[in-house]
Structure formats: C-alpha cells, structure tokens
Amino acid sequence: MTSPTRMTLAEARDALAARKISAKELVEAHIAAVEAARPLNAFTFETPEKALEMAEASDARLAKGEAGPLEGIPLGIKDLFCTRDVPSTAASRILENFRPRYESTVTANLWRDGAVLLGKLNMDEFAMGSSNMTSAYGGVENPWRAKGSDKKLVAGGSSGGSAAAVAARCVLGATGTDTGGSIRQPASFTGIVGMKPTYGRCSRWGVIAFASSLDQAGPMARSVRDCAILLRSMAGHDPLDSTSIEQPVPDFEKALTGDIRGLKVGIPKEYRVEGMSEELERLWRQGSNWLQAAGAEIVEISLPHTSYALPTYYIIASAEASSNLARYDGVRYGLRVEGATLEEMYDATRGAGFGHEVKRRILIGTYVLSAGYYDAYYNKARKVRTLIARDFRQAFEKVDVILTPTTPTAAFPMGEKMDDPIAMYLNDVFTVPASLAGQPAISLPAGLSAEGLPLGLQLIGRAFDEETVLRAAGVLEEAAQFSAEPAFIAAA
C-alpha cells in the first residue's frame, strides 16, 4: 500500500472503507508529517490530541458501518475559520488569544461528515495578501524550489499555509477562502488543485469576514476528485448566512465523467496581457489543445472590462474590510491596549493589533467611503463591477466554461514585491474578475516553468455550475499528467 501521506484523499477514503488502514494509523502518519513540516511555518496551531480523539471516534463509526463521506480524513483548516475552543486568529495579533465558543458552518459540516482536524493553517493577516508574508506568524515557505536554487519562495496567499501543507503532504486536504484569488493563486504556486465555488455555495457563517460580498470558502487538495469530495461536504444552505443559497448540493464527484464532447470552452482575448511570458502562453495554448483533443470546441471570447477588475476589486474589498474590521475594538474579544478614554483605547488597540497591509486597506476603505468620495470611488467601482459581471453573463451565453492561466508568474522569492503594493496586487489579475462576478473557478497544476516551478491553469464556470468546471478540470488533469513533486515532502 502507498504510504498514508502519499495517498490522495480519495485513495485514503477507499483504503479506510476497505479497512486496509485505520483512521488512527492514517492520522498518526499525518501528525508526524505536520511535525516534520514545521520549517515551512504552514500551521499556526497544531491539534494532535484532538486529531487522535477524532480518529478514534472515526474508527468506532467505521467499525459500526456508520461512516460519513469524509470519515477519518485528516484535514488542515485555514485560520480564518472559527473552530470551537481552538485558537482562530486570522493570523492577526488583534485576535491572538481568541478561542471561539462556536464552530463555523463549513467546518461543522466537515466534522459532521467524519473529517479530522490536524490544525489551523497560516495565512495572510485577515486574508489580505498574495504572498502569505503579511501574517503575524511570519511567511509560509513554499515546499518547491527553483532548479539549482536554494532561495525560499512564497507559497502564495492568502491561503498560503493551506497550499504548502497540501503540497508537502502534511494533510490530505485543506480549507481555503478566496476573496480575489486567495485559493487559486496559492494552489497555482504550489502545484495543487484549489477551487473557489460560486458565491453563496458555502456558508460564510463563522468565517472571519474580510470583504463580505466576495469572500467564499473552498477546498484545496492534490486532485480534482479530492476537491469535488471536499466541496460536497463543505457546501450547503445555511440560514445563518443570508447570502447562502438554497440549492441542493450535487454529488460533485459524479460530475467527473471524463466526457466533455461538445463542451464550448471560451478563451478570453483580454487575458493575453502585455508582458505575459512565452512559457505561460504556451501552457495556456496547450490546455486549450488538450480540451479540444477531448472533444471540446474552442471559442475566442471577449470580456471587455477585464483590465478594470483589479482597481475595482481594491476599492470594493478595502471598503468592505474597513467596515468589517470595525468590530475589533478591544471590548468584546481579542487584543486590548488600555487608554485613558474609550477613544484612546480604540486607537491604541487597533494601532497595535493590525499589521501594515491591514491598516493600509482600512485607511483606503475609510477614504473611499468618506463623505465627498463615496460616489467617485465606491459607487464608481460598484458600477464597474456590474459591467464585469455582465461580461461574464454574456460570455456564458456562448460558452460553457472559460480557460485562462491562474497567475501571471510562478512563485516568487520571499520578501519580493513587499515595497510595491500594486506589483503584489497584480498577482491576482486573472483571478479577481471571476471573484467580482461570483463565478465558480478552479486552478489546477498544468505544467512546470523553465525554472521547474508549477504553473496553474484556471477554469471559470457559470454560477452554480461547479459540476461542469470540475468535469473539464478532470479532463485537463488527466491530459496534463502533472506528477512533479516539490523539493520538500514532509514524510516518507
């Protein structure tokens, strides 16, 4: 049998069901892997005892024939999800001692289905970043290295800990959240699969809010099938989130038929951005050839407002963040720095508790929402967002799915782009438009750069049509046969 940490989630599930391995053995192997991977700084908090307890309960249910769809599967959870009595900090000093007394709906769904918590995963502070370097716990190291180089690379962000832990084989899967690319970009940087479902598919209840009109939870794992399995458990209507949609959750795994004959795949010409590398363009073309060879029809399409997506995103996301983060006031939870008056206490608490990038976005958000600027910035951005969503609606009248690269480059060295916020934001140029429009989108590893680093392709689908996205992704995955492994793997 394959070593427990080398299995995919689907293989582990089948091995557990066939009683070839116990949940305890599977979880113990992963606890060792989490320890071995400490140099990556992927975890903010490890929960080995809880994991063993949950594994024992899983073994009992497996023995009784009462196993859930994820019974005994060890997962990592991004630290943005509230987990009952387990630190949940959003990688911010302002929440360093926060232990929620409740469980987020998405994680509760995972435990309901039998999954096991290995620990909480590092991320950019409040999910604001594309490198994981803004975390109060420090950056996450990408397990990959460029050929012939020892330079440490970023794992991407904001779900960088999730991506690194999955890539280094410490967890069988992880949760991420995606506001402008925070699942897809780190998935691309680490050679794994990550999916942002349609806005409204997964409940946001108990997910620490960044930009509520954009935030969406999703799965990160080592195969398209594993993401399909995780998404089925994570998704579902929740009365506690008024934007969660009352739609039945399909068995996403069943969508992986491998048959995409007649599928119309759109190639948006506006994504051929200036300065795109030759190798990325080649990979994109290769992806479209693979889909065509499997019977899909390739259609050139236009998403005319693409180049306006990033500035639109930064106005809307910062505005919502400045409003959401107003709750950190030193009164109800988290850090408190005393002051002589209430106002001084607020100022001191928030000044000490938030990192620089978070402060910058709060200030931008406050500015664009302030009297005299609201129309010029915030309302303008909301109007452009309408146009961007319309681009997608019109495109999906002609095609079933859209193929693009996930990121403009492969992973970059830790510490780079830190002094230029706009250069950092450009990481999300291909992922932000789908976020603004609420479409489901997946990133999967499709090849290696000349430096030997993973490059991802993105598939974007119609709202609530994750099944078509997954089906097409399954075909791409099969064609790409991506089998390269990172320089660092946690355990045998």
Partner 1 sequence: MLVDLSTVRHIAKLARVRVEPEQAEALVGELNKILEWVEQLDQLDTTGIAPMTSVVERSQPLREDIVTEEDNSEAILANAPVAAHGFFVVPKVVE
Give me the active site residues, please.
Answer: 78, 158, 182
CA distance 158 to 367: 24
| Least distance between partner 1 and beta carbon 334 (Å) | 7
Which of 120/169 has CB closer to partner 1?
120
Which of 284/425 has CB closer to partner 1?
425
Token couple for 358: 């978070």
DSSP string, 187-229: HHHHT-EEEE--TTSS--TTBPPS-TTT-EEEEEESSHHHHHH
- Reduced to 3 states (helix: H, G, I; strand: E, B; else coil), residue 109 is helix
Token couple for 364: 């931008």
Which of 333/409 has CB closer to partner 1?
333
Name the strand (E) or helix (H) holding 266: strand 264-268
Which of 301/384 has CB closer to partner 1?
384
Q: Which residues pair with 299 in a beta bridge?
A: 266
At residue 210, what is the residue type?
F
Token couple for 126: 């409040």
Q: What is the dihedral of CA 417, 424, 161, 77, to 10 degrees?
A: 160
- Reduced to 3 states (helix: H, G, I; strand: E, B; else coil), residue 457 is strand
Query: Any idea which residue has 């900090």 for tokens?
Result: 89
Contact of 188 with 156, CB cutoff 8 Å? yes
| Least distance between partner 1 and beta carbon 203 (Å) | 13
Q: What is the dihedral of CA 388, 391, 393, 396, to 10 degrees?
A: -130
Contact of 266 with 401, CB cutoff 8 Å? yes
CA distance 57 to 477: 34
Which of 21/387 has CB closer to partner 1?
387
User: Cα–Cα–Cα angle for 359, 307, 292, nearest 5°?
Assistant: 120
| Least distance between partner 1 and beta carbon 242 (Å) | 5
Which of 304/452 has CB closer to partner 1?
304
Which of 216/288 has CB closer to partner 1?
216
Q: Which residues pair with 444 in a beta bridge?
A: 457
CA distance 185 to 166: 14
Give the CA radius of gyration of the chain. 21
Query: Any idea which residue has 């859209």 for tokens?
Result: 402
Task: Provide the terminal-to-terminal Cα distance of the chain, rounded to the nearest Å.
Answer: 13
Token couple for 13: 């599930």
What HEC string does 418-435 produce? CCCHHHHHHHHCCCHHHH
Residue numbers at the binding site for partner 1 (CB under 8 A): 97-102, 199-200, 213, 239, 242-243, 245, 305, 308, 311-312, 314-315, 322, 326, 329-336, 338-348, 350-352, 354, 356, 359-360, 362-364, 366-367, 370, 377, 379-387, 389, 421-422, 436-438, 463
What phi, psi does 177 have (nearest 5°)?
-135, 150
| Least distance between partner 1 and beta carbon 68 (Å) | 27
Query: Any idea which residue has 């506001």 for tokens?
Result: 179
